[in-house]
Amino acid sequence: MKETRRKLFIQDIFRQITRKEQIALKQLLLFRPHIQSSAPDTTPPSRCLEDTAGLPLGKA
């Protein structure tokens, strides 16, 4: 159930972001898999799209 919610959440994000942001997000998920598992489920959605510098993706 938890994994299904995570997949649906990621799919929803991908529908809302640009192609360039999708590529960047895929690279983060592929090359830094610990990011997925280290974030607690209580992370507010507003923080989920921040890069490591704390800036929202696509706004840098």
Q: Say whether pTM exceeds 0.75.
A: no
Label residues 32-57 b or e (16+ Cβ within 10 Å = b).
eeeeeeeeeeeeeeeeebeeeeeeeb
- Kindly tell me if the per-residue pLDDT of 20 is higher than 80: yes
Confidence category of residue 54, pLDDT binned at 50, 70, 90: low
Average pLDDT over residues 36-42: 55
The pLDDT score that the predictor gives to residue 60 is 45
The pLDDT score that the predictor gives to residue 23 is 87
